[in-house]
Amino acid sequence: MEAYQHILLAADFTAHCDRVARRAADLAGIYQSKLSVCHAVDSLPIAESVYGPIIPFDGDLTAELVAAAEKQLAILGATYGIPEDRQWVVIGSPKTEILLLAEEHKTDLIVVGSHGRHGLGLLLGSTASSILHHAKCDVMAVRLTDAGK
């Protein structure tokens, strides 16, 4: 079986998401793949939210979120040996931006957290599901539970 050449870790920084990063790093180690990490800062109203429409972030808040995400990715990068030029913060819908990055950089595996279908998971779960539907490459969905197992 061919080894994965380039794995993209989609980091969402929710509780226990380190499990997703560890699995991505584990697979990258096993297959000797290049590993990149991305995080999408959503600046758009989330029309499909079950809680009703969410007001778009203003510019300053978006800049703060981007800076915070960059710090988080730097920590992940240091932990798992991902160089700075493969730590990508993008602004926009996670569903769309993660797929665009994957195509642009020709990744052959996306590793993403999969949340339960309750509470926050209703919202976050849809990102994993949309990635699975639309990705042109393989997708590993790492199950995240309240217990973080």
Residues forming the site for a copy of itself (CB under 8 A): 1, 22-23, 25-26, 30, 114, 117, 125, 128-129, 132-143, 145
Instruction: Report whether 73 contacts 8 (CB < 8 A).
Output: no
The residue (of 65 and 132) whose beta carbon lies closer to a copy of itself is 132
Residues paired with residue 33 on neighbouring β-strands, in sequence order: none
Minimum distance from residue 4 beta carbon to a copy of itself (Å): 10
Q: What one-letter code names the amino acid at 87?
A: Q
Minimum distance from residue 66 beta carbon to a copy of itself (Å): 29
Rounded distance between C-alpha atoms, residue 91 and residue 58, angstroms: 12
CA-CA distances (angstroms) from residue 146 to 31, 94, 126?
Answer: 30, 22, 17
Rounded distance between C-alpha atoms, residue 81 and residue 83, angstroms: 6
The residue (of 28 and 73) whose beta carbon lies closer to a copy of itself is 28
The residue (of 21 and 73) whose beta carbon lies closer to a copy of itself is 21
The residue (of 22 and 34) whose beta carbon lies closer to a copy of itself is 22
Rounded distance between C-alpha atoms, residue 53 and residue 13, angstroms: 22
Minimum distance from residue 81 beta carbon to a copy of itself (Å): 14
Minimum distance from residue 103 beta carbon to a copy of itself (Å): 12
